[in-house]
Structure 1
Amino acid sequence: MGVDLLPEEHVLWQGEPAKHSVFLRPDLTWIRFSLKFHAVLILLVVVVAAAAHGWADYLGSWSDVFGVCTGFAVLGLLGIAEPFVWRYQTLRRTTYYVTDQRVVSVPGRRARSAPLTEIGYLAFTEEPGGSGHIRLDSRVMPDGYGNGTVAELIHVPDVHEVVTLISTLTGQPANRR
């Protein structure tokens, strides 16, 4: 098994992601927002550069402005792509466990876990095929990148069975999103 059990701990459910797609439903909203944010940021850089060029003759050429805008665009695209690259690298080797004491995600060598007593919010999304996404945290964007706690389980097979099990163990109602 890929996780070290605590004393007196028993595995109640074990599974792997049903599919290895790196995208979830909420991702499209985040991508749209991020693209709009970076477009406005680039527009502001152009406006400030035009003002600096016109009033103080600060910039000798527009190639400097183009370079700054290109830098913002590249950094923005890298920021958008980073979570999906991380999911792509880890999702295919991830295993999930629900024990009688915690929820564990093993995306490689290091296990991340959330004790059942610390789960104060439980939400899920069910896809037409029965798989889905379970959130164990109410934050808008859980980090999950090297953090020691599990915030979400992605592409869980038979998500309704797993969320019912976690809901029963924690006493938290499961919110469908």
Structure 2
Amino acid sequence: MRGSGRKRRRLVLVGVAGVALAGAAALVFYALGDRITYAPTPTELAAGHHAAGTRIRLGGLVEEGSVVRGANGAVSFNVTDTVNRIPVTYVGILPDLFREGQGVVAEGVLETSGGLAADSVLARHDETYMPKEVVDALKAQGRWQEDATTAGMVGKTGTAAAGEAAPQGQ
């Protein structure tokens, strides 16, 4: 009988430890929830899963011929994933690497018109950066060319290691 008492205590301890571990994991995910950001592509935004007034990060390419510079640092441009485009407005100084055909992440608020009023624009940090979501979208469209030195270099954070392949046609 004494052996069954030990087994029962051990089972209870394992159960309590499992519940405590699950609770701790839930608290960590809850605390990190506000810090985890996802950069949807224009196609994902076009699907209508985000309401106007929602703060988002939009990832894609600056569409060729879409950059219009206005007065007082105002800039408008389209972000595309080669299937859909989202108009972006921004007032401020753009990164030095910002240009048409390059990867960009714009952060701001979705407008009722479907555009993005950006308060932050991030360009590629080098010639190899591309948000993971955009890479996945370009691969799905067959517009991504990958060589042996770049396979698997796009990370969970959306950044790529040196030598990342560029989309075809650039």
Q: Does TM, scored on the shorter chain, surpass 0.5?
A: no
How does the TM-score come out when normalised to structure 2? 0.27
Query: Which has the higher relative contact order, 1 or 2, with Cα contacts under 8 A spaced 6 or more apart?
Result: 1
How does the TM-score come out when normalised to structure 1? 0.26
Greater percentage in helix: 1
